[in-house]
Amino acid sequence: MASSTGARSLTERVYACLRSDILAGRFAPGQRLRPSELAGINGVSLNVVRESLNRLAGEGLVIASPQQGFAVMTVSVADLADLTAVRVLVETAALRRSIEQGDLAWESALVAAHHRLANTPMTNTADPEDITDDWMHAHNAFHVATMCGCGSPRLIEIAANLGGSAAMYRHVSRRYDHDQRDVAGEHRAIFEATVARDADLACRLHGEHIARTADIVTRALAEQELAAHEPDQKSASA
């Protein structure tokens, strides 16, 4: 029994480490992930690495294919547009139902979740573009707290899965935002509208909050694509 518990703990550690590296951009989108290399780096067996990668594939952060093996998910404007539209649809529905049906216990949990988020540093002082794991946990917990009063476990699960799919884009957004965005202010406005039971305002602010991330990433990807084509254009003109 002890060995089984130890194996689960080891797999959990490797999974958490790989997930953090992917979300922090230490593995580039589309980069191949070789289980043998990762096993050597982490000092674990291939089975532990494969189990962790399959779990990440289930979350959409890793792509698994019989021919290519494992790779970090790619980011694209088309996927982001689709994800954003679905998130707005699902998450605002859950938020609206929470505001309409949420009781005092829900509201108290929301206050605590926002307090934790507001008092958790978003980035590391050594690397202002690197979002901390503590902030990510507090951020996810806050948004779940706004929606968990909806009374539908399935709706909450769908919303949480969509939020997980957006994690990669959230980190890309941070790298290209350059502190021009008041993320804390956006969360505070959503929180205040939610506890005031103003469903229309809270849902509008939440939708705008999601869209801002999409806009930043879309511009960044467009700039990257333009920069990638500039050498071809210069060589053609020469």
Q: ∠ at Cα 12 (8, 14), nearest 5°?
A: 120
Core vs surface per residue 171-204: b (16+ CB within 10 A) or e: bbbbbebeeebebeebbebbbebbbeeebebbbe
Euclidean distance between CA atoms 174 and 176, whole angstroms = 5
- Measured from the Cβ of residue 23, the count of other Cβ atoms closer than 10 Å reads 20
d(CA 131, CA 181): 14
Q: With 50 as the cut, is the pLDDT of residue 207 above it? A: yes
Helix, strand, coil shares, percent, the chain, to 5: 75, 5, 20
Question: Where is pLDDT greater, at 122 or 88?
Answer: 88
For residue range 143-161, list pLDDT tens digits in order.
Answer: 999 999 999 999 999 998 8
Residue 73 pLDDT greater than 80, yes or no: yes
- The proportion of the chain whose per-residue pLDDT surpasses 90, expressed as a percent, equals 55
Say which residue, 13 or 229, is predicted with more confidence: 13
What are the DSSP calls for 107-155, one per residue? HHHHHHHHHHHHTS-SB-SS-TTSB-HHHHHHHHHHHHHHHGGGS-HHH
Q: How far apart are CA 198 and CA 99, in angstroms?
A: 8
Q: What 3-state DSSP class applies to 26?
A: coil
pLDDT at 98 exceeding the cut of 70: yes
CA 143 to chain CA centroid, nearest Å: 12
Whole-number Å distance between alpha carbons of 64 and 51: 12
Phi/psi for 162 (5° steps) reads -65, -40
pLDDT in tens, 176-190: 776 678 999 999 999
* Mean local confidence (pLDDT), 202-226: 89
- pLDDT of 1 > 50? The answer is no
The residues that bridge with 72 in the sheet, in sequence order, are 62
Residue 69 φ/ψ, nearest 5 degrees: 80, -135
**pLDDT at residue 191, as a whole number:** 98
Residue with the bigger pLDDT between 99 and 168: it is 99
Domains, the chain, in order of start with CATH, read 2-72 (1.10.10.10), 77-225 (1.20.120.530)
- Residue 58 pLDDT exceeds 90: no
Task: Write down the pTM of the prediction.
Answer: 0.78
Asked whether the predicted pLDDT for residue 6 surpasses 70, the reply is no
